[in-house]
Amino acid sequence: MQEVLKQNIVEKRILAPRDSRKTIGNINVPNPRMVCRNVNVYYGDKQAIRNVSIDIGCNEVLAMIGPSGCGKSTFLRCLNRMNDTIDSCRVTGEILFDGRDIYDPSVDVVPLRAQVGMVFQKPNPFPKSIYENVAWAPKIHGIVESKSDTDEIVESSLQKAGLWEEVKDRLDQPGTGLSGGQQQRLCIARAIAVSPEVILMDEPCSALDPIATAKIEDLIEELRAQYTIAIVTHSMQQASRVSQRTAFFHLGDLIEVGTTETIFTKPSHQLTEDYITGRYG
Amino acid sequence: MSKSTTGSAARSSASSGRVKTIDIVNKGLKSRYRKEKRFRVYGLLSIIASAVFLAFLLSSIVFNGYSAFLQTYIKLDVPVKTGMINEQNPRRSDFQGIIKAAIRDYFPDVTERKDTRELYSIFSSGAAFQLREKVLKNPPEGDTTISLWVPADDDVDMLMKGHMKRDVPESERRLSDKQLRWIEKLETDKRIEKRFNTTFFTAGDSREPELAGIWGAVKGSFYTMIVTLVLSFPIGIAAAVYLEEFAPKNIATDFIEVNINNLAAVPSIVFGLLGLAVFLNFFGMPRSTPLVGGIVLMLMTLPTIIIASRAALKAVPPSIREAALGVGSSKLQVITGHVLPLALPGMLTGTIIGMAQALGETAPLLMIGMVAFIVDIPGGFTDPAAVMPVQIYLWADSPERAFVERTSAAIMVLLAFLVSMNAVAVIMRKRFERRW
Amino acid sequence: MSPFLLLLLLLVLSVAGYFIGQYKALNLARKAGGASRLHSLPVYYGMLTALWCCLPAFFMFLIWLGFEQTIVTGLMVADLPETARSLPPARLNLLIKDIQSLASGNIVSGEITPLMRQAAAHYVELQGIGKMITSVIVLVASVAGMLTLHRHIRPELRARNHVEKVVMGLLVVCSTIAIFTTIGIVLSILYEAVRFFRQVPVTEFLFGLEWSPQMAIREDQVGSSGAFGAVPVFAGTILISAIAMLVAAPIGLMSAIFLSEYADKRLRAVAKPMLEILAGVPTVVYGFFAALVVAPMIRGSGAQIGIDVSSESALAAGLVMGVMIIPFVSSLSDDVINAVPQSLRDGAYSVGATRSETIRHVLVPAALPGIVGGLLLAVSRAIGETMIVVMAAGLSANLTANPLQAVTTVTVQIVTLLVGDQEFDSPKTLAAFALGLVLFIGTLFLNIIALTVVRKYRERYE
């Protein structure tokens, strides 16, 4: 719902038909996990993303920044086809994952989403116990066959998410009873319980306090060793702290891509510079 | 796949484990999609089940009832001679006798007493009334013959409409062989035919199906609805305005709310018991009247109207109230001047839906005696009257085959009213729907 | 003067009062130098006058209307000869009814005696006097109200505040009508039920296994003693409601799920109005359909496979009632399922769940309290449903769990006992109120639980 509302704002800003702007910087990486080429996203007849091309490398954290309504969340949701749930949404271009276009009609979203997990802006644990929150996805996918398998996955996922020590004595309590930061880490544990390759994070800390945010940021740093992470964030400090590469979006265009260091120290595009120096945003 | 590999697949690092994990996922997909499909089919079947039932219900009503809009009439030439009509008081002439004479004239070979009685019974007793109307309207001068299309008896009507078979043994049908022969004679003379059944739309109830109509019930329903509307609309809106705009949050308000929500779910027959005990027995108000019926239905629909009106008031954004308060109006002025006009379409929609409910309601009215057999067409709020659903109930209880089709026809009329009321509500909702 | 004419006159007087009040206020304003000298707008002075004109008078009118019958009847009875007044209460009641019928020109149950004729004439006369007195009192009150207020109109009269106070008072009164209705229901049913329990012990009523309320009018008739054990009636109600819920709960719930999670716009645009029509069909139509089509169909198909099915089987009534409740269950479930936040769906889809897995494992458990609440409301509706069972279920109180036999329900018994000629004070008539009490308490209980559960559920996701 929120996404849709946000989208309305986007529509108003980018109503005027115009050509997409060229992306500055190197969009390629040596070992890409996902390759996006000329991606366009439309809501009805309004275009929300224009001709975005970018690679997402293995074991890297790619930060997507930009003013609100710039399309960064929309783009993120394309990467595991979460946009499918919105009726009017249409995507063109290619997004290759392991060499296959995920928008190809033959591709099944269920295994795709098992490989490309997602963490949302607001923590959304299921109204089940902490244990069930983590165990549910492996169960429906048939990854676990016995109780001990399940226990193992729950424990390892919660450990990876840095939550195990805090909740190991109350696994049967509802996940909704945890604090905001704990809930978000529970959601991360839920996402990694099915061993995805890519984790998409949509402003995962925007609803959290600074201490919880710091914990999540540390966690992202740890997870990088095993997963590829794409994170949308509002906070430039966060982007500079957690990411290796940064992509700057503006009104549906990908303006500039580069290593985080370059973007934050020597931005090439005027808009990027204005944004990271805080002239607007 | 063995247990240990599964476990290690999940545990091992993503780069080596992922291949195995996704394989497991893919392996299970087929059966998961089968379940998915089955679930979807269950859902679709549920919808289809409702649709089939509705279609079945409506088609059986229409199938049973469409023929009631036609009625079999027989052409009768009635010779009226001077002296047959009472000069001083034409009203009191023996019209029944005149009709009988006319029938005997047409069938001169029927002489036996038993036969003539059978012969008369293929004509409706309404024939005499019809003749009377005609004679009173233009009194005949001298000897004339009045040609009349008089209604046939309901059994003849059923025969002509094919609801009664001619080729079954005599003991299994309600018309004798002789009566069939006479009807055949009328048929060959082209004196019997089906015509549009105006009686059905203009008459009150009757024990004779061919003379029974729904006009009395329609008028009764009309008066009852007027009472309900006049009482429930202002009271419902006033209550909604108070509860939504003024009421302080306290126990008393909560109690009112619980009461309203509960009353909306109380069985309707309980309201009938209330009406019987309080309005009829305690206050001694007249039985079977639209006045009492309307009051009982008002109590029943009030919760619906209050709940809908509150929702409509809630939908008016607070900014409008604040803006109006900001220019110095009193709270009541804000509400009458700004909030109510904006909420009115929603309130009206709720009221129409409530009235549609009330129009179809039967049970509470049975309790307050609206189930009586009433021939006269009600002329006011305190005349005994039936309402449409009660009329349907009464006819449904009657054994005659002809009443089955009349019941179905009355249902069609009632449904037509209900559907048009709901359509108005839907159109209003569409038209005045505002997005803030 | 007829009540309607009187009300009309009252209305005219009020309108006149409005203009008179406004006129005086305007005059005052002119003398004082501009409308701003008045405390309120002239309109409010008019409104206040109109309110004074109609409210007290209308109140008196209502009081008279409420007690007219009682007072007039009392006066009439007081003037009856001693022989008539000393009749036993039941006979006296009958006599009074007859006199009233005679007075209003209706059919009288027995022979018309000169005594009755005389009393009826007296009754009519009393009624006329009563009407006249009312008219005079109401009109005088109205004019007096107008004049009193007219004298009080001054620039400093806080007319707007007074008007608003009165309007607030009216609003409060209107919103308390729900409470008065509930109190009225409880008191009236309780009063009659207590009278019933004075004649038939509560324990016999609640636990007795025999129900045959048809008391003979005369003492010497066969079967003159009724039996008032309501267990078979309760059992029948529960049986039919259970059948109805077996139909309505799965179909209604699945329809709601399908419509909110699977159906595309086009299907929704067809299916939703279809369910609304199903919900809008009056129960008497369902009853007719059940009795005319469904019951014979079930009986016929039973006969084909060699099972004897009663023509008033619980199954027919229950099935049709179930269909009637489908839209109710469906719309309530639709509401609660839609109240589950989108983020939960997103969460489930994002780990690769299919739709049905999301629905069965996440949405339905999340919406469960709301769904249960909705089902309880549906049960309450099934228990209180009257016309379908009156027309399609039986009258005989069989204690059976076999859905192919005829059973009877609480509502059927209430209707049978109260429709037609009633005797006052006979246990037969009063038994209906005892049943009504049980019905009211049972449904009240269900409703309150259901409404609380649903409200709690909504608050959780708001």
What ipTM does this complex have? 0.89
Whether B157 has a pLDDT exceeding 70, the answer reads yes
Q: Which residue of C has its CA nearest to A113?
A: C352
A141 CB within 8 Å of a chain C CB: yes
Whether C368 has a pLDDT exceeding 80, the answer reads yes
Nearest by CB to residue C362, choosing from A82, A117, A126, is: A126
Q: Which residue of C has its CA nearest to A192?
A: C351
Q: Report strand pairing: A61-65 vs A228-232.
A: parallel
Which residues of chain A have a pLDDT value below 70? 1-20, 280-281
pLDDT (tens digit, 9 = 90+) per residue, C390-425? 999 888 888 888 889 889 999 999 998 888 666 666
Q: What angle do CA B179, B181, B182 make, to 5 degrees?
A: 65
CATH, range C227-461 = 1.10.3720.10
Report CB contact under 8 Å: C341, A124. yes
Q: What is the pLDDT of residue A19?
A: 66
Minimal C-alpha gap between B117 and chain C (Å): 31
User: Which has more confidence, C272 or B14?
Assistant: C272
Nearest by CB to residue B21, choosing from A108, A143, A146, is: A143
Report CB contact under 8 Å: B255, C170. no
B232 CB within 8 Å of a chain C CB: no
The CATH superfamily assigned to B215-432 is MetI-like (1.10.3720.10)
**Average per-residue pLDDT for chain C:** 86
Chain A contact set for B22 (CB, 8 A): 111, 114-115
Q: H or E segment at C450?
A: helix C427-461
CA–CA gap between residue A75 and residue A112 (Å, rounded)? 16
Q: What is the pLDDT of residue B18?
A: 47
pLDDT (tens digit, 9 = 90+) per residue, A140-192? 998 888 899 899 999 999 998 889 999 999 999 999 889 989 999 999 999 99
Q: What is the pLDDT of residue B13?
A: 40
pLDDT (tens digit, 9 = 90+) per residue, C146-198? 888 888 888 778 888 888 899 899 999 999 998 999 999 999 999 999 999 99
pLDDT (tens digit, 9 = 90+) per residue, B258-296? 899 999 999 999 999 999 988 888 877 788 889 999 999
Structure tokens at C36: 């701003």
Q: Residue type for C200, please?
A: V
Q: What is the pLDDT of residue A14?
A: 46
CB atoms under 10 Å from CB of A108, counted, come to: 16
Whether B5 has a pLDDT exceeding 50, the answer reads no
User: Which has more confidence, B5 or B138?
Assistant: B138
Domain residue extents for chain C:
3-157, 227-461
CA–CA gap between residue C239 and residue C125 (Å, rounded)? 55
Report CB contact under 8 Å: A195, B28. no
pLDDT (tens digit, 9 = 90+) per residue, B51-109? 999 999 999 999 988 989 999 999 888 888 877 777 777 777 788 888 888 888 888 88
Q: What is the pLDDT of residue B19?
A: 54
Q: What is the pLDDT of residue C59?
A: 87
Contact C60, C137 (CB under 8 A): yes
CA–CA gap between residue B324 and residue C231 (Å, rounded)? 61
Q: What is the pLDDT of residue C447?
A: 93
- Label residue C282 by pLDDT band (50, 70, 90): very high
* Chain A residues bordering chain B (beta-carbon distance below 8 Å): 108, 110-111, 114-115, 138, 140-146, 148-149, 152-153, 156, 193-197, 226-227
pLDDT (tens digit, 9 = 90+) per residue, C208-221? 888 888 754 444 55
Q: Which residue of B has its CA nearest to A196?
A: B18
Q: Quote the strand ranges of B94-196, DSSP E.
A: 144-151, 192-196
**How far apart are the two ends of chain C, measured CA to CA in Å?**
57
**Which of B21-25, B58-62, C95-99, C335-339 has the lowest average pLDDT?**
C95-99
Reported as half-sphere exposure (CB side, CA atoms, 13 A), residue C229 has a value of 9
Helix, strand, coil proportions of chain B in percent (round to 5)? 70, 5, 25
pLDDT (tens digit, 9 = 90+) per residue, B164-221? 888 888 888 888 888 888 888 888 888 888 889 988 999 888 888 888 999 999 999 9
Coil, helix or strand at residue A52: strand
CB atoms under 10 Å from CB of A96, counted, come to: 17
Chains near C, with 3+ CB pairs < 8 A?
A, B
B40 CB within 8 Å of a chain C CB: yes
Minimal C-alpha gap between A127 and chain C (Å): 6
Domain residue extents for chain B:
3-66, 69-208, 215-432
List all residues 6 or more positions away from B10 whose beta carbon is below 8 Å from its beta carbon.
A138, A143, A144, A149, A152, A153, A156, A193, A195, B17, B21
What's the maximum distance between 2 C-alpha atoms anywhere in chain C? Answer: 97
Mutate to test the interface with C, among B36, B39, B228 (most CBs of C within 10 A): B39
Whether B8 has a pLDDT exceeding 60, the answer reads no
Contact C52, C181 (CB under 8 A): no
Report CB contact under 8 Å: B25, A194. yes
- Count, in order, helices (H) and strands (E) of chain C: 19, 2
Structure tokens at B223: 């008066």
B165 CB within 8 Å of a chain A CB: no
- Label residue C107 by pLDDT band (50, 70, 90): low
Q: Locate all alpha helices (DSSP H) within C153-292, ordered by sequence.
A: 159-175, 177-199, 202-207, 231-257, 265-280, 283-289
Nearest by CB to residue B242, choosing from C171, C360, C380, is: C171
- Label residue B11 by pLDDT band (50, 70, 90): very low
Say how many CB pairs under 8 Å bridge B and C.
266
B230 CB within 8 Å of a chain C CB: no
Q: What is the pLDDT of residue B301?
A: 94
CA distances (Å), origin C205, targets B10, C395, C416, C434: 65, 18, 18, 9
Minimal C-alpha gap between B327 and chain C (Å): 16
Report CB contact under 8 Å: C179, B255. yes
Coil, helix or strand at residue A179: coil
Q: What is the pLDDT of residue B14?
A: 41
